[in-house]
């Protein structure tokens, strides 16, 4: 595949966008000249981003929303003021202003200055940028990792410019050279809603880690859950309601940046004797995360099906558990059923709202250590055979090769 200038646009730190990092690495390693344009808006992430960039086969450019990183302070101040103003616009106008999605205007301005043969856009504000670049005559592809207009809790969605997001999604499905997403279920749903071109499925896979979980389960076995943010709406409350009824000994380890007093609120749901079996771990770098996962026994993928996007997508969690060799406890969502349909022995699917049955399923999983080890081995095999970046990266580069030859 001949080398080409590829511009990938995202909306936050690289360390919080693993799909962008994998894509940029695969295309850069294939010989393309890859630039990732992103937003620098979280100072603690800069250290992790610099680690990712060391020796990477791509370069990064940033739209700075923070002072102190080289962009003159008046420009940063103006960008922040514009973002604030866009979010104050009455709802009747908000659905027509790209700034309601974030620093979209600054991203668009910067993207227009960067020559490219192909642009790939990720996430809300870059998706809007992609629609404008299509009008400019650029070749644009879009990755729809999440269905943004069908994501989050109802209270959170009430404050979002859903009309603008839906028009953006419609435009990309009809006018981008191609779109990609994470599951067959989400691809089917997007196509049914908007028509246009059905998205291609590029799984949320990761490179196979060399240190998967091996040996017998711990004493007692450890349930593990992680996210960038530890907060409500993630299924943890439903898990605790079932877990506190289990009779088999076990531990619970939660990794992430705790929102407010949420850790205390979680512990208050448990009797005192169970609280000592819960551990909280702060965020780790992307390089450290796989080995951190592999130190545990059972991965919790507790996506909530009443949020349409969470029902349909396949998240990083379940795939990273498979990669690390953890047995999986998965809530009953279309995306997670899709994963475990390839290897039912890799985990169990539970109805999280049925507390007594959920608790009984956890006890059964904990009681038979031999069966638990079997599930762990099946999980790793599923990663090796189906859900690994080694499989997905070649499909991605082939898609990009076809897109580069398509008319703008």
d(CA 24, CA 58): 6
**Residue-level pLDDT at 23:** 98
DSSP helix/strand/coil, 37: strand
DSSP bridge partners of 121 = 9, 142
H/E segment holding residue 184? helix 184-194
How confident is the model at residue 400, as a pLDDT?
A: 97
Per-residue pLDDT of the chain (408 residues; tens, 9 = 90+): 568 999 999 999 999 999 999 999 999 999 999 999 999 999 999 999 999 999 999 999 999 988 888 888 888 888 888 778 777 765 555 565 667 788 999 999 999 999 999 999 999 999 999 999 999 999 999 999 999 999 876 666 667 888 899 999 999 999 999 999 999 999 999 999 999 999 999 998 999 999 898 888 889 999 999 998 898 888 999 999 999 999 999 999 999 999 889 999 999 999 999 999 999 999 998 889 999 999 999 999 999 888 899 999 999 999 999 999 999 999 999 999 999 999 999 999 999 999 999 999 999 999 999 999 999 999 999 999 999 999 999 999 999 999 999 887
Which residue's structure tokens are 């700034």?
99
Angle at CA 256, nearest 5°, toward 259 and 383? 145
Which CATH code for domain 222-385? Answer: 3.40.50.2000
Measured between alpha carbons, how far is 347 from 357 in angstroms, rounded to an integer?
A: 16
What span, in angstroms and rounded, lies between the C-alpha atoms of 110 and 102?
Answer: 14
Cβ pair 179, 197 in contact under 8 A: yes
Q: What is the pLDDT of residue 93?
A: 53
CB 59, CB 36: distance < 8 Å: yes
Check residue 161 and give its pLDDT: 86
CB 180 within 8 A of CB 144: yes
DSSP 8-state class, residue 221: -
> 85 - beta bridge partners?
none
How many whole angstroms separate alpha carbon 136 and alpha carbon 349? 46
Residues 188-203: b if buried by 16+ CB within 10 A, e if exposed = bbbbebbebbbbbbbb
What is the rounded distance in angstroms from the CA atom of residue 31 to the CA atom of residue 71?
A: 30
Residue recorded with tokens 């069966």: 371
CA-to-CA distance for 161 and 253, rounded, in angstroms? 36
Q: Angle, to 10 degrees, between the axis of helix 316-324 and the axis of helix 369-385? A: 110
Decide if 43 contacts 70 (C-beta within 8 A).
no
Domain with CATH 3.40.50.2000 in the chain: 5-205+389-404, 222-385
User: For residues 318 and 347, what is the distance between their CA atoms, to the nearest angstrom?
Assistant: 10
Q: Which helix (H) or strand (E) holds 173?
A: helix 162-175
May I ask the CATH class of domain 5-205+389-404? alpha beta
| CA gap 138, 273 in Å, rounded | 61
The answer to whether 147 touches 80, Cβ cutoff 8 Å, is no
The C-alpha atoms of residue 39 and residue 162 are separated, in whole angstroms, by: 22
Task: Extract the tokens encoding 307.
Answer: 């949020």
Look at residue 171 and give its three-state secondary structure: helix
Q: Give bridge partners of residue 38 from the DSSP assignment.
A: 62
CB atoms within 10 A of CB 155: 8
Note the pLDDT of residue 79: 82
Q: How far is CA 182 from CA 77, 168, 316, in A?
A: 36, 19, 10
Tell me how far apart the 2 most distant CA atoms of the chain are, in Å. 65
Tokens for 32? Answer: 């393309």
- Name the residue among 9, 52, 36, 30 with its Cα closest to residue 394: 30
Q: Which of 85, 88, 79, 84 is nearest to 107 (CA)?
A: 79
């Amino acid at each position: 595949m001949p080398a080409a200038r590829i511009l990938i646009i995202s909306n936050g730190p690289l360390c919080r966008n693993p799909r962008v990092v994998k894509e940029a690495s695969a295309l850069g390693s294939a010989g393309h000249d890859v630039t990732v344009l992103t937003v620098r808006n979280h100072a603690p992430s800069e250290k992790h981003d610099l680690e990712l960039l060391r020796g990477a086969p791509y370069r990064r450019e940033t739209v700075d929303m923070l002072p102190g990183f080289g962009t003159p302070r008046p420009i940063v101040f103006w960008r922040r003021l514009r973002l604030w103003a866009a979010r104050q616009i009455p709802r009747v106008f908000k659905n027509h202003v790209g700034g309601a999605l974030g620093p979209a205007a600054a991203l668009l301005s910067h993207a227009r200055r960067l020559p490219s043969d192909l642009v790939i856009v990720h996430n809300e504000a870059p998706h809007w940028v992609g629609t404008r670049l299509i009008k400019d005559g650029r070749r644009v592809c879009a990755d729809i990792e999440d269905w943004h207009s069908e994501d989050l809790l109802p209270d959170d969605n009430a404050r979002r410019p859903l009309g603008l997001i839906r028009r953006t999604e419609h435009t990309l499905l009809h006018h981008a050279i191609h779109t990609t997403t994470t599951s067959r279920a989400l691809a089917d749903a997007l196509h049914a809603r908007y028509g246009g071109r059905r998205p291609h499925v590029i799984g949320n896979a990761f490179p196979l880690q060399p240190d998967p979980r091996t040996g017998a389960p711990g004493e007692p076995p450890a349930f593990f859950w992680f996210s960038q943010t530890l907060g409500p709406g993630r299924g943890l409350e439903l898990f605790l309601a079932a877990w506190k009824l289990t009779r088999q000994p076990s531990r619970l380890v939660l990794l992430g940046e705790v929102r407010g007093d949420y850790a205390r609120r979680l512990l208050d749901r448990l009797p005192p004797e169970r609280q000592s079996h819960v551990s909280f771990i702060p965020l780790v770098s992307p390089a450290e995360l796989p080995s951190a996962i592999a130190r545990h026994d059972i991965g919790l993928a507790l996506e909530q099906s009443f949020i349409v996007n969470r029902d349909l997508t396949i998240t990083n969690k379940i795939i990273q558990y498979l990669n690390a060799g953890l047995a999986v406890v998965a809530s009953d969502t279309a995306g997670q059923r899709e994963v475990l349909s390839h290897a039912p022995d890799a985990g169990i699917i539970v109805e999280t709202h049925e507390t007594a049955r959920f608790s009984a399923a956890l006890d059964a999983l904990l009681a038979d250590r031999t069966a638990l080890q079997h599930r762990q081995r099946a999980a790793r095999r599923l990663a090796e055979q189906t859900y690994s970046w080694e499989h997905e990266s070649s499909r991605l580069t082939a898609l990009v090769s076809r897109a580069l030859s398509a008319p703008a």
